[in-house]
Structure 1
């Protein structure tokens, strides 16, 4: 019975009085979950809305706590790492990570970056050994699937697209996914939001169909 870790990152909800202000990425991720639960209603889902409850940013004291031996940490250091420990435990439980996010300034929202910084942690999600030469970091976990559902105001961020070089969202998350134990990465993206024309409507519909189809395929595979 696979567990899904569902992370939403948009600052917007999906129930605004003005429909145009609703989060597209959250809505698309919701379509994925609905389809999955139609086929596998018993599978557990761990949910966090990072946009509404952002994780703390790391600090100097947080870093010092991470690099203090676990048996020697003070109560204060243990408290500083409590959220990180919880988030890592949630990740450990998950076989599938469903991550929804808008593109903010060509990258990820600060809340999502804060989550990554809390979770990608030495001795917890990766090890470090200089004997490995130029690539001393190795992930501890493996076998996970990451589904990234994103939305953006412009278009052409795909490989070969006119804004490929400006896409610091999907490629960044795919790189970081290695240290979450991700072996399989999928991305679904809705574009053209700022243009608010038929292209945007078409892109959202295509993304919605892709989310439903992918959820069905993965649910069947599990």
Structure 2
């Protein structure tokens, strides 16, 4: 199938680092922004017509969930008043971006073993009853079910100050980044995923350089595989 006739794959790129620059280019730049940029650049080189939606939650964090937000989200849509619709407007946009995307690329640095607060706020805004998951107390068996369209793929690009956070590593039990994304997004139906990580950031020595080079090579291979499968 030629590039002009094959269906588009819609990308959603999310950066969550509080650092605005890219490592290797800007002083104190972000490793995860560097990785997400590389992934999307490589993808666009292979599939230049695929649309990319960009969301920088690190610099423009979503509003946190509040009491009025909860009341509005759990109110039937036909009964919401203007104030309730307004308080959910940002969440509506974020959820729509997730629903529309086929490939979700998230730059998620490890902050104190878990996700940045800005990225957790994004998760809280897209986990929406009646929008991305269903709930019915009267439903036999499991009262919850996922509502995301099938066929989506999650790419987690992370960076860690120490090392040994991968499965079987010395600090694996303390890694809450990947579970912090895989669990809630899997709950919505997004269960296919890959992770690429940079480690040794706090050491800032040759081990960091090697880790970055390995991560970039892994991204190149991942893009090649996914493009080949598309």
TM over 0.5: yes
3-state SS of the aligned residue for 2:191?
strand
Q: Counterpart of 1:97?
A: 104
8 Å CA contact 1:140, 1:179 repeated in 2: no
8 Å CA contact 2:145, 2:188 repeated in 1: no
Q: Counterpart of 1:11?
A: 18
8 Å CA contact 1:3, 1:45 repeated in 2: yes
- Structure 1 residues 3 and 82: alpha-carbon distance in aligned structure 2, compared to 1, 3 A threshold: same
TM-score (structure 2 length as normaliser): 0.92
8 Å CA contact 1:143, 1:183 repeated in 2: no
Q: Counterpart of 1:217?
A: 225
Q: Do structure 1's residue 61 and structure 2's residue 68 form an aligned pair?
A: yes
TM-score (structure 1 length as normaliser): 0.95
1:136 to partner: Cα distance: 2.7
Distance 2:186 2:25 in 1: 38
Match of 2:82 among 67, 75, 80: 75
Deviations 1:162-182 (A, max 9, x none): 001100111221112213431
- Structure 1 residues 168 and 132: alpha-carbon distance in aligned structure 2, compared to 1, 3 A threshold: farther
Which range moved further: 68-77 or 115-124? 68-77
- Structure 1 residues 18 and 219: alpha-carbon distance in aligned structure 2, compared to 1, 3 A threshold: closer
Which 5+ residue runs of structure 1 have no aligned equivalent? none
Which protein is richer in helix relative to its size? 1
Distance 1:70 1:138 in 2: 19
Distance 2:22 2:171 in 1: 31
Deviations 1:191-218 (A, max 9, x none): 0000111111111110011112111221
Which 5+ residue runs of structure 2 have no aligned equivalent? 1-7
Two-structure CA RMSD over aligned residues (Å): 1.6
Match of 1:152 among 156, 160, 174: 160
- Structure 1 residues 220 and 50: alpha-carbon distance in aligned structure 2, compared to 1, 3 A threshold: same
Distance 2:131 2:118 in 1: 21
1:17 to partner: Cα distance: 11
1:221 to partner: Cα distance: 1.6
1:129 to partner: Cα distance: 2.9
Q: Do structure 1's residue 40 and structure 2's residue 54 form an aligned pair?
A: no
For these two proteins, the number of residue pairs brought into alignment is: 221
Which range moved further: 16-25 or 1-10? 16-25
Highest relative contact order (Cα 8 Å, sep 6+), 1 or 2? Answer: 1
3-state SS of the aligned residue for 2:145?
strand
1:183 to partner: Cα distance: 3.0
Distance 2:158 2:211 in 1: 12
8 Å CA contact 1:125, 1:179 repeated in 2: no
